[in-house]
């Protein structure tokens, strides 16, 4: 069946959180020493890992981890704990880093994100963004004028369901007013985004590489599925 709508994941698909100059300059470990390059790299990995649990959590914070994308308060709670356990002992430093994590203007778009969204919309198809996330990502699109190409945003904390649960995919499809069989889901997680196939959607996997290393994967996927 022909594709009439494309759902895009956000993190690792359309945008990626990449370390900006100065983010970690003032972070100090328990001894008051600045973090070395290796420690900074590991800290960024733990901040941005979308699925992997990178530290040992107690029962209270484990519950928050598993439900973080349903509730902004749980998201904040568990990420502050992850930062504390990752060598950021000062609460003010952890909160400053967390603020960067959830600031839409700190996220870097992939080089072909604008072109992919525009291509879907200009072809008469509907483009949607479907994300497991605990904060509003619409400003990341709006500040660039790209929201004009997105018909609907389906965000887990607003829906109360997370990928791969069928409810969140069903919500996105209904918002777009299309059938699952004519919808393509594009994402970087076989487990989470690939859950769309259970409803009958087509699925395309992209690699969540650094943005500089993945110039045109989105356009390639659209070509493979006959959208371009």
Q: How far apart are CA 184 and CA 190, in angstroms?
A: 14
The pLDDT assigned to 30 comes to 60
The larger pLDDT score, comparing residue 185 to residue 89, is at 185
Give the up-direction half-sphere exposure of residue 223: CA atoms within 13 A in the CB hemisphere: 7
* Overall average pLDDT of the 150-164 stretch: 97
pLDDT digits (tens, 9 = 90+) for 165-175: 999 999 999 99
pLDDT higher than threshold 70 for residue 145? yes
Q: Confidence band (pLDDT; 50, 70, 90) for 63?
A: very high
Which one is the CATH code of 5-16+107-225: 2.170.120.20, 3.40.50.1000, 3.30.1360.40, 3.40.50.1970? 3.40.50.1000
pLDDT higher than threshold 70 for residue 20? no
The larger pLDDT score, comparing residue 38 to residue 151, is at 151
The larger pLDDT score, comparing residue 129 to residue 49, is at 129
Residue in the block written with tokens 């972070």: 27
Contacts within 8 Å (CB) and 24+ apart, 206-210: 206/12, 206/13, 208/11, 208/12, 208/13, 208/16, 210/16, 210/18
pLDDT higher than threshold 90 for residue 32? no
pLDDT higher than threshold 90 for residue 53? no
Q: Confidence band (pLDDT; 50, 70, 90) for 49?
A: low
CB-based burial, 32-57: b 16+ in 10 Å, e otherwise: eeebeeebbeebbebbeebeeeeeeb
Cα–Cα distance list, 203 to 41, 93, 101, 123 (Å): 31, 39, 28, 19
The pLDDT assigned to 117 comes to 98
Q: What rounded mean pLDDT belongs to the chain?
A: 89
* Overall average pLDDT of the 112-139 stretch: 97
The pLDDT assigned to 60 comes to 95
With vertex at residue 158, the alpha carbon angle to CA 118 and CA 169, rounded to the nearest 5 degrees, is 60
Alpha-carbon dihedral of residues 158, 162, 163, 165, nearest 10 degrees?
Answer: -110
**The two three-digit tokens of residue 155, written as one number:** 């965000």
The partner residues of 183 in beta bridges, in order of sequence, read 5
Peptide bond into 93 cis (omega under 30): no
Residues of the chain with CATH 3.40.50.1000: 5-16+107-225
């Amino acid at each position: 069946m022909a594709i009439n709508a494309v759902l895009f994941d956000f993190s690792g698909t359309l945008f990626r959180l990449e370390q900006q100059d100065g983010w970690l300059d003032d972070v100090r470990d328990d001894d008051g020493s600045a973090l070395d390059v290796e420690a900074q790299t590991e800290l960024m990995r733990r901040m941005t890992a979308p699925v992997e649990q990178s530290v040992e959590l107690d029962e209270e914070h484990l519950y928050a981890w598993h439900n973080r994308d349903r509730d902004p308060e749980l998201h904040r709670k568990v990420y502050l704990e992850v930062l504390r356990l990752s060598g950021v002992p000062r609460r003010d430093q952890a909160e400053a880093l967390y603020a960067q994590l959830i600031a839409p203007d700190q996220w870097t778009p992939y080089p072909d994100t604008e072109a992919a969204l525009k291509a879907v919309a200009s072809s008469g198809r509907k483009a949607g963004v479907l994300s497991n996330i605990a904060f509003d990502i619409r400003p990341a699109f709006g500040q660039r004028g790209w929201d004009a190409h997105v018909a609907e945003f389906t965000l887990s904390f607003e829906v109360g369901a997370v990928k791969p649960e069928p409810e969140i995919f069903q919500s996105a499809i209904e918002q777009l007013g299309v059938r699952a069989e004519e919808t393509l889901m594009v994402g970087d997680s076989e487990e989470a985004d690939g859950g769309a196939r259970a409803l009958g959607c087509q699925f395309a996997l992209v690699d969540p590489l650094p943005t500089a290393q993945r110039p045109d994967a989105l356009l390639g996927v659209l070509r493979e599925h006959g959208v371009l």
